[in-house]
Amino acid sequence: MNVSDQNAPEEQRRRVRRSAILLGMVALSFYVAFIVMSVMRS
């Protein structure tokens, strides 16, 4: 998706915020998942 598709800067900001939070959640879930997996195993 590039800038031409995002007429309003506000929409772009929302998109940026949303994808940043989503990626942060993905990173956090990898962190938690590996610890939980190790708890289950040990």
Secondary element (H or E) of residue 14: helix 9-41
Shortest Å, Cβ 12 to another protein: 6
Neighbours of 12 (CB within 10 A): 14
Site for another protein, residues 1 to 42, rule: CB under 8 A: 1-4, 6, 12, 15-16, 19-20, 23-24, 26-28, 30-32, 34-35, 38-39, 41-42
- The answer to whether residues 6 and 12 touch, using CB atoms and an 8 Å cutoff, is yes
Q: What are the tokens at 25?
A: 């959640």
List residues binding another protein (CB under 8 A).
1-4, 6, 12, 15-16, 19-20, 23-24, 26-28, 30-32, 34-35, 38-39, 41-42
